[in-house]
Amino acid sequence: MSGSARASISISLLAAAAALAGETPPDPGRVATLRLEAGIAQTPAVYLVLDPPRQVLEIKSRGTVLDSIALVGIEVVTQQPLLAERRTRPVTVPAVWRIVGEPSDDHRELIAPVELRPMPKEEDEESDDGEAATPAPAGPTPTPTPVPEPEATYRAHLDGGWDLLICEQLPPRGLFDRFAAAVRDGWQRLRDEGRDEPPAIALAMAAEDARRLHHVLRSGTSILVAAGAP
């Protein structure tokens, strides 16, 4: 377990424990989050807890933090014309989102033998001097080439019509950068190569963290979005 994971004991539990000890009244939002987590943790699945105030995404199972990912930023990302009126509605929390379309796994290698031949008989493998050959390691063989890595920027579809956009950098905010992005996108659209994407919750993180999160995001994975102050 990484240091950060060890340190990130469930804040919900801490808040609840403090409340029980009579120190501070529990935050109703945190308690609602805790109750939702108690429901999710009844199954053996791995789930994620997104804690916006702490800017952290925890990988958990059965209420236990297995790992945690520090977020560089969280934003609501939509595709909009350059000079459109900006309007985004608040995200209701606490909430449980579910992955309904896992990120693309185009990076997977496909092994597809064209045809299968019969296993060679043992006598065929004997050496010339008549002694039986040393048993070959017939078991799991090593992969000769490195396993391809997934991209560090990708989308997963959530129930409710949103996407989860995992990226290294959030969309640029500067006027010049936005103008350049609008020109790029406009040029693609003029060539019929533009793409409309659903609105997304963008989580920015280090590339390595994005790749290991890709490993965990599978259809059906729950993401609990915490409410209340830590």
Site for another protein in 28-57 (CB under 8 A): 28-32, 34-35, 37-38, 41-42, 44-46, 52
Residue from 8, 12, 63 nearest 33 by CA? 12
Nearer to another protein, 159 or 194 (CB): 194
54 token code pair: 């702490």
Task: State whether the Cα torsion 98-230-213-103 is positive or negative.
Answer: positive
- Least spacing, CB of residue 100 vs another protein, in Å: 17
In angstroms, give the least distance from the CB of 104 to another protein. 13
Among candidate residues 53, 57, 51, the one with its CA nearest the CA of residue 34: 51
**Alpha-carbon distance 206 to 166, whole Å?**
10
- Name the token pair of 67: 């790992």
Helix (H) or strand (E) holding 200: strand 200-204
Contact 99, 157 (CB under 8 A): yes
Q: Which is nearer to another protein, 32 or 100 (CB)?
A: 32
160 binds another protein (CB under 8 A): no
Under the criterion CB under 8 A, does residue 161 sit at the interface with another protein?
no
Shortest spacing between CB 132 and another protein, in angstroms = 14
Q: Are 55 and 71 in contact (CB under 8 A)?
A: yes
Site membership for another protein, residue 114 (CB under 8 A): yes
Determine if 230 is a binding residue for another protein (CB under 8 A): no
Closer of 63 and 101 to another protein (Cβ): 63
Confirm or reject binding of residue 101 to another protein (CB under 8 A): no
Closer to another protein at the Cβ: 42 or 128? 42
DSSP 50: E
The answer to the question of residue 7 lying near another protein (CB under 8 A) is no
Task: Give the one residue of 62, 125, 132, 219 binding another protein; rule: CB under 8 A.
Answer: 62
- Contact at 8 Å (CB) between 209 and 69? yes
216 binds another protein (CB under 8 A): yes
* 56 three-class SS: strand
Looking at residues 185 to 214 of the shown chain, list those that interact with another protein (rule: CB under 8 A).
185-190, 194, 196-197, 201-202, 211-212
Our CB check for another protein shows the closer of 94 and 128 to be 94
Task: Determine which residue in the list 125, 132, 183, 219 makes contact with another protein, applying CB under 8 A.
Answer: 183
Q: For another protein, what does the binding mask look like between residues 139 and 158, x meaning CB under 8 A?
A: xxxxx--xx-----------
Q: Measured at the alpha carbon of residue 98, what is the angle toward residues 147 and 153, in degrees to the nearest 5?
A: 40
Please say whether the beta carbons of 33 and 228 come within 8 A. yes
